[in-house]
Every structure is written in C-alpha cells, then in structure tokens.
Amino acid sequence: MQPITPSKLKRILVVRSDRIGDVILSTPVFSAIKEKYPHCYLAVLVDQSVETLVRGNPFVDEVIAYDKKGKHRSWWRTLWLGIGLRKYHFDLAIHLHPTNRVHILSWLAGIPIRIGYCRKNHYLLTHSIEERKRLGKRHEAEYNFDLLQFIHIPAPHRLKLYVPLHPEDKNELKMLAPDLKDPYVVYHPSASCPSKIWPPERMAELANSLAHECGTFSVIVASGSGVNEANLMEMHLKQSYMNLGGKLSLGMLGWLLKGARLLVSNDSGPVHFASAVGTPVISIFGRNQAGLSPTRWKPLGERSSFVHKNVGCVECLAHDCKLGFKCLQELSVNDVLGEIKKLEIFEQNRK
C-alpha cells in the first residue's frame, strides 16, 4: 500500500450505507476529519432512508443519498451512480461499512484512494485492514477510527454523537401528538431480530410500574414490522399512554426523544439517536455474542446504561435459538427498573 500524502486530500467521501444507529455512531468521524483537514470538502454517502440524520451536520458539506431499495436497486442504476460521482473529483473514499456495491461505486467514481476493510470485493480498495468488529472488544464508534489511521486521525478521548434536528419536524410532531404529556418516557419494544426483542408485555409492565411510581406518561415508538410489537405492548398498558408506532418520520422521532426524560429500548437505532440528542437511555441486550455485546453497542450518552443477562450459552444461535431466547426471558422487569433507579432521573417524581 502506498503512503497517503495528507496535503493532497482536498475532497473526501465517507460512505456509510447501512442503518440508523450505524450512521449516528459514525458522526464522530465527520467532525474528526474536519478538525484534521479543516479546508477539505467532505461529502457523506448514506442510504436515502437515513439522509435526514446527516443533512444539516455542520461538519458535512454535502450529503449524497443512495437509494439502494429504490432507484439504485438495479446494478445498471448503481453503475450509473458510480460514474456520476466522477464529477466530484474526490481524492479519497472511506468505507465505514463494507458492501460489494459501495466498493464498486468508489472504484467507478475513479477515486484514487479507497480505504476500507478486507471484506466483500476488497480487491477494489487501495488501502485495507482486517475487520475486527466481530470480536466486540471496543465500541462501534471507536472501531470506525481504525480506518482513519491511514490519514493520521486518532480516535478522540470522548466520542460525541451529533444529529441535527429540523424545525419543520418539530412542528409536525406537535400536530401529530398535541396531547403529549410531560414527563414522558419513550419505549421502543422492537428490534431488527427476534433475538433482540424483550417481550413487549414485559416492557408494558415496566411502563406501568414507572407510571405508577413516578407519574410518567408512556409513549411507544416503532417502525415497519416493529409496529406489531408496539401494538402488543399497547394491549398490556394500564396507565395513560400514546402509541406512535408507524406514525413518525426520523426527524419527528428525534424531537420526541429530545423531549423525553428517558428512552427504554431494545438494542437498536433509537438508542443511539437518543444519545445523540442528550436523552438518557436504558438499552436491553439479549444475545451473548461478542460482536453484538454491550461493549460494542451500548449507549454513549451521559446518564445511560444497559441490562444484559448471561445465561451461560456457549454459542449464540441468534434467531435459531433452541432455548426460547432464554437470555431475554430471564431478564425481569425488576432488573430493568433497578437499572433505571440507578440513574436517579425520577427521584423528584416518586410518589
């Protein structure tokens, strides 16, 4: 691998084409690049569905939307997108998440320096390192900085997440939920895999307990198929609540989280969204698997924590679990409630 000359890095592209939490945990990279190279033009390529998480970021000069499930779904359209990127004359591309398509995109764009991991079609990269994220020894946000060693940027002592919020989304939230009551707690009962989902009826029991003890109003959020868990949780709620499952844009979710006293969520994107807007979080983990552990995915915000119970599994079979997701089933409401009490968020509200 040829050494990289920092003085030649005038136009930089960062690529992160996966999901909500992954993109948010990449935001410290943007500020670090701008701090090291303040005069560079920094563009970020993300999936169109999460574009709003980066649009308006003061460290990013342009957001390029990749519609991999829509207009760029076919290989033909992907090829044209890559060729279209040539007009930017990027000097460097940093792939924070390896996929065959994004590696092809940066190669087609004629970007002379292409940094990434030794995965997928990594032969299209000019500089690569082994991906060690599966070992789960550090946080995902820290792992992102492994690639930046090529351009002489170390990981900062404090990883600060940032997501811009837009006034129009706040107004839409007010129109949708005029009866939102303070103090409120947001609950996210779904996740990307069944092996990450704490039983929704148990999360409802937790919400009932907090409402009874601290007078909190419960707000349920979810999207896509997660609305099923939101509706199931709603069926078991006894105190005042609002079910916003399937009704929020990402921007509206951001404002909702910002105004909350707490987010209780399975290990998923809203955990990191809440951390980015300064809201305390309790994140619930199930699988005993290094690459999916709290060490790698815990909330980074202040006054936040997680619950995780090791039930002795030697090998995690994920959604093929033969034990009925014992790690989640043995996690009690009192376990989570006890962790919430440690944060001392509701001490003045207790009855």
Question: What's the pTM value of the predicted model, to 2 decimals?
Answer: 0.94
Share of residues in the chain with pLDDT > 70 (%):
94
**DSSP codes joined into one string, 318-340:** GGG-SSSSHHHHT--HHHHHHHH
pLDDT at 84 over 60: yes
pLDDT greater than 90 at residue 88 = yes
Confidence of residue 1 (pLDDT cuts 50, 70, 90): confident
- Tell me 49's DSSP state: G
- For residues 252-261, give the mean pLDDT: 98
Question: Do 65 and 35 meet the contact criterion of CB atoms below 8 Å apart?
Answer: no
Q: Of 312, 313, 294, which Cα lies nearest the Cα of 304? A: 294
In this model, does residue 14 exceed pLDDT 90?
Answer: yes
**β-strands 217-220, 184-188: how paired?**
parallel
Phi-psi region of 289 (alpha: psi -120 to 50; beta: other; left: phi over 0): beta
* Each residue's pLDDT tens digit, 326-349: 789 899 999 999 999 999 888 666
Sequence-ordered list of residues with C-beta below 8 angstroms from that of 158, at least 6 positions apart, any chain? none
Q: What is the pLDDT of residue 351?
A: 54
Looking at the structure, tell me whether residues 68 and 204 fall in a common domain. no
142 lies in some domain? yes
- Asked if residue 1 is part of any domain, the answer here is no
Q: How high is the pLDDT of residue 289?
A: 85
Average pLDDT, the chain: 93
157 located within any domain: no
Beta-carbon contacts of 96 under 8 Å, excluding residues fewer than 6 positions away, are 14, 15, 16, 22, 26, 29, 144, 147
Which among 74, 8, 19 is positioned nearest to 47, based on CA atoms? 19
Q: Residue 86 pLDDT more than 90? A: yes
What was the pLDDT predicted at 310? 80
User: Is there a single domain that holds both residue 141 and residue 70?
Assistant: yes
| Domain assignment of residue 12, yes or no | yes
Same domain (yes/no): 179, 118: no
pLDDT of residue 297: 96
- The residue from 151, 178, 194 where one domain ends is 151
* 173 and 138 housed in the same domain: no
Q: Which of 116, 151, 186 corresponds to the end of one domain?
A: 151
Is the pLDDT at 350 greater than 90? The verdict is no
Q: Tell me the residue range of the domain where 216 lies.
A: 167-349
CA distance 124 to 3: 17
Distance (Å, rounded) from C-alpha 47 to C-alpha 23? 9
Q: How far apart are CA 174 and CA 199, in angstroms?
A: 30
Q: Which stretch of 212-216, 286-290, 298-302 has the lowest confidence by average pLDDT?
A: 286-290
Q: Are residues 127 and 212 in the same domain?
A: no
CB 12 within 8 A of CB 37: yes
pLDDT of residue 29: 98
pLDDT at 322: 54
Dump pLDDT digits (tens) for 29-52: 999 999 999 999 999 999 999 999
Q: In what order do the strands lie in the sheet with 113-117?
A: 62-66, 41-47, 11-16, 92-95, 113-117, 127-129
Instruction: Judge if 27 and 147 occupy the same domain.
Output: yes
Which sign does the torsion angle of CA 304, 309, 313, 317 carry?
negative
Q: Are 215 and 264 in contact (CB under 8 A)?
A: no
Flag whether pLDDT at 314 surpasses 80. no
Residue 149 confidence (pLDDT) above 90: yes
Give the percent of the chain with pLDDT over 90: 82
Residue 76 has pLDDT above 90, yes or no: no
Put the strands of the sheet holding 184-188 in their side by side order.
241-243, 217-220, 184-188, 262-266, 281-285, 305-308
227 & 271 share domain: yes
Within 8 A by CB and 6+ apart from 103, the residues are: 95, 114, 116, 120, 121, 122, 124, 125
> Do residues 119 and 190 both lie within one domain?
no
Q: Give the list of residues 6+ apart from residue 86 with CB closer than 8 angstroms, or none.
A: 108, 109, 110
Mean pLDDT of 108-129: 96
> Are 182 and 144 in the same domain?
no
* Total number of domains constituting the chain: 2
Q: Residue 258: what pLDDT?
A: 98
